[in-house]
Structure 1
Amino acid sequence: MELTLQKGCQLSTIATLFHLPTYVLFAANPFLSTHVKPQQPIQVPGYAPRSVIPDKDMTDAELAAAFHFPLRLVHLLYDTDYFPAGEKLTYPQRVTQPVTCFRQPYDYAICLQDIQSLHQLFPFMRMRTIYKSILGKPVTELQIGKGKRHIHMNASFHGNEWITSLALMRFVNDYLLAVTHDKKLFGYPASKLYQDVTLSIVPMVNPDGVDLVIHGSRTAHEYEELVLFLNEGSDDFKGWKANIIGVDLNKQYPAKWEYEQVRKPKLPGPRDFPGRTSLTEPESIGMYELVKAGDFDSVVALHTQGEEIYWSFEEKEPPSAARMVSQMEQLSGYKGVKELDNYAGFKDWYIASYRRPGFTMELGRGKNPLPIEQVDTIYEKLPILLMVVLTSEKI
């Protein structure tokens, strides 16, 4: 929440009055000095504006008591010591619960709205557009933390696996809350994680495919005739994994891509077509360029389903990957799968290129797209898996 203070004071004083870690307040206001001047706007993470119309006249002391504010904070926020009845008053209210959507189909518009809401509430979260989908939808990367270890996580490479985006965004929300309010994140100090790790998140790799699965062919716009043809005339796109022109984005990477070209479909379709060659699609190229520039120590790609973790590619992963998977198995009940007759995936290319731990996590059980009713059980285990990657000292 952006506030304009009526009096000058130290940034550390504002952190104390709002019960925030000082480093979080500094991160949200990188261009401010340690002293905030009168009438200078300041971002206060974890607070949202709320309005009330007092039904009686109030003094500054009465207002402080009513809102449970220190009197000094009232003086910093308002240029008066008297608040008449009937006049609208806007005040900062602490947000302590997640705000992201959690129990409805998770399309691109909802994801974008959640990203914007989180950035407004937690302005120390950095965000930028890294590419645009074929239909021109901007795809956002989020960044949290400032540590030396760089870790990347993504969701919804496949259109009918949109529930992974919903679950990943809830984890992001929980992390931001824990950092802001100096709490533990699933048993681990969020402040230490923030200082140790720079976390990169792409919540929705394939927004065109997600919208097609959830809303049908009308979302394909100029490609509507094409997607209906590729889907054999049916407007039921529940089996659609590909991007909007029928290329499977998780079979686009130069890691034995030629194997998939030989044995997978030779033409575009709802799933498995690896493209005419590797890295032809803006979505797969965008993720490729992100990893090349990010120099990540580890990557995680969320998929559904099977409660399995794929973690190896031709023995090119480091020994630490096996240790991490073993820990995930013990804590979550998921099964680690080393040998897999599958190539050209995002994590395959990452492991082959960087010789660092890469994981494909298959969330939940059933038939894609998994029902929204399964999101609670999925999210019971997802943080366990992600925290193993985030807190591993040797990756």
Structure 2
Amino acid sequence: MEIKLQESCQLSTVATLFHLPTYVLFSANPFLSTHVLPQQPIQVPGYQLFNATLDTDMSTASLAAAYKLPIQLVDLLFEQSYFPAGTQLLLPRRITAAVTHLHGYYDYAACLHDIQTLQQLFPFLKIRTAYKSVMGKPVTELLIGKGKKRIHINASFHGNEWITSSALMRFVNDYLLSVTHDDTLFGYSASKLYQDVTLSIVPMVNPDGVDLVIHGSKTAQEYEELVRFLNGDCTDFQGWKSNIKGVDLNKQYPARWEYEQLRKPKLPGPRDFPGRTPLTEPESIGMYELVQDGNFDMVVALHTQGEEIYWSYDEKEPSISSTLVSRMEEVSGYEGIKELDNYAGFKDWFIDHYRRPGFTIELGKGENPLPIEQIDTIYEKLQAILMVIISGDV
């Protein structure tokens, strides 16, 4: 929410009037000094403006009482002290509930809408385009926090695992709400997490694949003929994991890629084709470069299904990985799996190259794509797992 004050005041005063931590207001307004000038735009996180038409004449005090606003804030927002009946005002309203789309199909448009909505409501959320998909869809990275500990989390490497994006974006929403209102996040101080940790989040790695699974071949546009051919001319794309060119993005990384090439499909298809060489696709290249630039202490990739956590690669992970996965098992009921006959994945390459913790978390149980009816249970367990990861609670 953007406001302009009629009189100058300290930015800390604005924070107090809106019941916000001062550091949150500073984070949302990095170019402001501690002193706010009259008519200077201010971004206020966690609030929206709404139209109010007054039914009766009101004074500053009665307006403040009617809409539960501090009198000083009303004085700062409006020049007059008397408001006749029929006056139309834009008044601030605090956002207290999550706004992201949780119970329904979660395609690229829904994800993009939620990102834009959250950025407007919480302007200290930083966003940037990390790369573009084969079809040119911008893939967004979200950045939250100021800490030295840097953690990356992503979802929807596979098209028919789009439910992971919905769950991850709800976590982002809950986190932003907790930080804004200086609340706890699932029992942890959100302000401490914000100060200690920088979160990098890519909520939808493979938007072309997600849209193909949800909406069918028409969304493939110039690739429609190709995807229909690769899918055996079947119009049902529910089993599609790959990107729009038929490459499995989670088998594209230089971590025993040659082994996967020998035993996996030799041609593009709905799943498991690792490409002609590692890192041929814009999505896998984009994630590779994002990690190279990000200097992350840990990465987490959300997949479905099985309620399992894969955490090892060739014994190259640090000892803290075992401790963390034990704690994740405890809070979620998921099973940690160390030995896995599967290579060339995103977390495999991260562990192999950086010798830092990497996790693939398989959410939910059943057959992909998981039914949306599982989302509440999936989210409940996911938030417990992510809090272990972010808080370092071991």
TM-score bracket, shorter-length normalisation:
over 0.9
Counterparts of 1:220-231 in structure 2, within 5 Å, are 220-231=220-231
Distance between the aligned counterparts of 1:197 and 1:119, measured in 2? 19
1:217 aligned residue: 217
1:126 aligned residue: 126
2:157 aligned residue: 157
Counterparts of 1:181-260 in structure 2, within 5 Å, are 181-260=181-260
1:322-341 CA-partner distances (Å, limit 9, x unpaired): 00000011111000000000
1:287 aligned residue: 287
Counterparts of 1:1-395 in structure 2, within 5 Å, are 1-392=1-392
Distance between the aligned counterparts of 1:326 and 1:112, measured in 2? 34
Query: 1:380 Cα shift?
Result: 1.0
Q: Secondary structure at the match of 1:278?
A: coil
Q: Which amino acid aligns with 2:267?
A: L
Query: 1:68 Cα shift?
Result: 1.0
Query: 1:163 Cα shift?
Result: 0.2
Distance between the aligned counterparts of 1:350 and 1:39, measured in 2? 49
Q: Which amino acid aligns with 1:113?
A: H
1:192-231 CA-partner distances (Å, limit 9, x unpaired): 0000000000000000000000000000000000000001
Query: 1:43 Cα shift?
Result: 0.2
Q: Secondary structure at the match of 2:76?
A: helix
Q: Secondary structure at the match of 1:90?
A: strand
Q: Which amino acid aligns with 1:179?
A: V
Q: Percent identity, aligned pairs only?
A: 73
Q: Which amino acid aligns with 1:375?
A: I
1:158-197 CA-partner distances (Å, limit 9, x unpaired): 0000000000000000000000000111111000000000
1:326-372 CA-partner distances (Å, limit 9, x unpaired): 00111110000000000000000000000000000000000000001
Distance between the aligned counterparts of 1:251 and 1:68, measured in 2? 55
Q: Secondary structure at the match of 2:361?
A: strand
Q: Which amino acid aligns with 2:197?
A: V
Distance between the aligned counterparts of 1:20 and 1:270, measured in 2? 48
Distance between the aligned counterparts of 1:218 and 1:95, measured in 2? 37
Distance between the aligned counterparts of 1:239 and 1:304, measured in 2? 12
Question: TM-score normalised to the size of structure 1?
Answer: 0.99
Q: Secondary structure at the match of 1:140?
A: strand
Q: Which amino acid aligns with 2:71?
A: L
Distance between the aligned counterparts of 2:55 and 2:371, measured in 1? 47
Distance between the aligned counterparts of 2:225 and 2:84, measured in 1? 62
Corresponding residue pairs, total:
394
1:81-106 CA-partner distances (Å, limit 9, x unpaired): 12122232110100010000010100
Distance between the aligned counterparts of 2:166 and 2:343, measured in 1? 27
Q: Secondary structure at the match of 1:130?
A: strand
User: Displaced runs of 4+ in structure 1, greater than 6 A?
Assistant: none
Distance between the aligned counterparts of 1:25 and 1:342, measured in 2? 46
Distance between the aligned counterparts of 2:93 and 2:393, measured in 1? 37
Distance between the aligned counterparts of 1:17 and 1:291, measured in 2? 40
Distance between the aligned counterparts of 2:237 and 2:7, measured in 1? 58
Distance between the aligned counterparts of 2:18 and 2:391, measured in 1? 29
Q: Secondary structure at the match of 1:24?
A: helix
1:364-384 CA-partner distances (Å, limit 9, x unpaired): 000000001110010110011
Distance between the aligned counterparts of 1:379 and 1:130, measured in 2? 25
1:129-175 CA-partner distances (Å, limit 9, x unpaired): 01000100000000000000000000000000000000000000000
Question: TM-score normalised to the size of structure 2?
Answer: 0.99
1:67-124 CA-partner distances (Å, limit 9, x unpaired): 1111110011111112122232110100010000010100000100000000000000
Structure 1 residue ranges without an equivalent (≥5):
none
Query: 1:2 Cα shift?
Result: 0.5
Distance between the aligned counterparts of 1:360 and 1:367, measured in 2? 18
Query: 1:393 Cα shift?
Result: 6.9
Q: Which amino acid aligns with 1:94?
A: R
Q: Secondary structure at the match of 1:353?
A: helix
My pick for the range that moved more, 51-60 or 318-327, is 51-60
Distance between the aligned counterparts of 2:393 and 2:159, measured in 1? 34
Superposition RMSD in Å: 0.7
Distance between the aligned counterparts of 1:185 and 1:85, measured in 2? 42
Q: Which amino acid aligns with 1:318?
A: P
Query: 1:49 Cα shift?
Result: 1.0
Q: Which amino acid aligns with 1:367?
A: E
